[in-house]
Amino acid sequence: MVSYIVTGGTGFLGRRVVAGLLERDPQAVVHALTREASVAKLRELAAGWGAEDRVFPLVGDLTAPELGLIEEPPHADHIVHLGAVYDMTADADTTYAANVQGTRAVADLAVELGAVLHHVSSVAVAGDHQGKFFEDDFDLGQGLHSPYHRTKFEAEKLVRETKGLRWRVYRPAIVVGDSRTGEMDKIDGPYYFFPAIAGLAALPSELPVPLPDLGATNVVPVDYVVAAMVELVTKPGLIGRTFHLTNPRPQPFGEIYNALARAAGAPTSIGTVPGSHTALHALGGLPGVPAVRDFLLERFGIPAEVAPHTAFESDFVSESTQAHLRGTGIEVPDFADYAATLWDYWRAHLDPDRARRREGVDGRVVLITGASSGIGLATAHAVAKRGATVLMVARTEEDLNAAAAAVRAESGAAQAYICDITDEKSVELLVKQVLADHGHVDYVVNNAGRSIRRSVLNSTDRMHDFERTMAVNYFGAVRLILALLPSMRERRFGHFVNISSIAVQTKVPRFAAYVASKSALDNFSEIAAVENADAGITFTSVRMPLVRTAMIAPTDLYRSIPVHSPDQAADIVVRALEHRPNRIDTPIGTFAQFVDTVMPSVKRAILHQGFRMFGESKAAGRPEPVEAADAPAKPQGRSPLLALAPIVQPLMGLPAPAARFTNRIPGLHW
């Protein structure tokens, strides 16, 4: 019975190697060096392999002195050392602790147990060596320009120089996902460039693209590395040998790009620009150029530490490895044959922007405040009918439960959440519960609102009107945005629709508190959108025209003018969710802004006359201000605004074809 100690046995490469060793020898036993926190994960893996009685945790820590073992190490014929920091962006101290100090402790353990050490190094030990790098080559005076390169070199040197140690060394190239399934566990190496290729997919695929000559790289799929390692680890002898687990043929970047571009539907390269490799190398030595390069790379989500090390100056010769694998059927597949498989897996599981790709609301989680009536309830029905899971939020439990039941009965999935958005603790509990129930929120409709129609003069002793209005319309919405923002940034997607008002553009009198609160939210959202654009967080302000809801009911004046129904308003909100524009206006709102820009005094005069003609609503509970004493007598009977209905009604919204046409005009979204 062969016994193994394995480090890194629960990692992406390690768990596959362990599974391969167990499959190769049904009698083999594996003791996996594992932190206490990962013991459950190891046992879960062992159960999946059907090897609960052959896989045992060896509790310890690769970075601790003497591996932090709390028990005497078991007998082992072989130690397979896969544990290391493979992250090029990790800091030097962390990398050194795992890659060098950890390797020293593993080598000492192998000597103590008389075991053969199978050390997984890396082609990074070749550094900037130019030309062929053979399996027997090691220290050729090459430069090592990153903590990762230096620590992998030092670790292999330590293995080679440890007295009494029997060793073999394995140097994988850049390891990507499984060529058969595409499975990969994290973004690393060439995967950092995938989003840029996805962005190019927006261009016509027939567009010819010349590429700079970036040299060649060396990429191998994880299934090849695992199969080769299992074969070589279980071969007798081979002490003191080094194996290059690489592609026998260097792969030009243009070849890698074209394979991925075809998978992505992006334009392919027509060739490289002659002399660009030398020019780029010379350019990189100029003052300030590396800083600019690093800045641009970061903008594309590519760590500055990664980009310079994806190309190799070395040509890794693997003749000895290929000779030992000959006749086993273990060969490196051509990258073009599995690039589409890698791409499809990345798109489905690793693309940081995958949450924002799907258009529409089908399958989305949509949270709506003020959802028990009016625009909120109509929007809940509308998005539920389109396949969304609707999270309906309001203060009054009885009304909200009835509204949610109606949505479930008529439209689809809806769940009620009682919350007062003016209360910080209530919002905190809401978000905690929603994330526990659903994992995430895709869309938020900040619809809950408060309005009051009262002149400024009649408000001189009513500061609470402004405070209450701001508490709901501004602070309540902002409180919810701030609470959900971290989880949305983690998923790199989220969209907020804020129900603003046409009054923000028209600035009609008697709505100072309301307009100020909506304007504040509009401006907050514009700044938040800029700051979070890189994380896929977007905002839409809907400058909603008048809607016949309970909010406008106290104002008799509005009973005689054309207004939207809640269902019409919900259609506008759905457009905001599906298309995610910065804002949605109305023609009359845009016209009001235009007049304010070119003829501000005229607009103020018109609004002042309106202020004098139409007094306070009954709900204001206050006589007319002194300045309005000379105002014309209140109109009796039919409101003069009805005469304007044929003009105003079309300006409240356009037919869909007309709206689609005008939306092509920069700055307009009606």
Annotated catalytic residues are 514
Q: How far apart are CA 130 and CA 153, in angstroms?
A: 17
Asked whether the beta carbons of 621 and 455 are under 8 A apart, the reply is no
CB-count burial class (<10 Å; 0-12, 13-18, 19+) for 383? buried
Asked whether the beta carbons of 205 and 159 are under 8 A apart, the reply is no
Kind of pairing between the strands at 55-59 and 29-34: parallel
Q: How far apart are CA 570 and CA 183, in angstroms?
A: 42
How far is C-alpha 433 from the geometric centre of its chain's CA atoms?
22
The Cα-based distances of 201 to 150, 206, 505, 594 in angstroms read 37, 11, 39, 39
SS3 content of the chain, % helix, strand, coil (to 5): 50, 15, 35
- Sign of the C-alpha dihedral computed for residues 93, 95, 98 and 101 taken in this order: negative
Name which of 572, 577, 484, 466 is nearest 528 in CA terms.
Answer: 484
Cβ-Cβ contacts under 8 Å for 118 (sequence gap 6 or more): 78, 79, 80, 81, 167, 168, 170, 229, 233
- Residue 509 backbone dihedrals phi, psi, to 5 degrees: -65, 160
Q: Identify the residue whose tokens are 């609960």.
A: 52
DSSP state of 621: -
Strands (E), 365-434: 365-369, 389-394, 414-418
Number of Cβ within a 10 Å radius of residue 242? 22
Q: How far apart are CA 130 and CA 618, in angstroms?
A: 87
Helices 566-579/374-385 angle, 10° precision: 50
The residues with which 176 forms a beta bridge, in sequence order, are 221
User: Tokens at residue 283, please?
Assistant: 């350019």
Name which of 289, 277, 316 is nearest 124 in CA terms.
Answer: 316
Asked whether the beta carbons of 413 and 342 are under 8 A apart, the reply is no
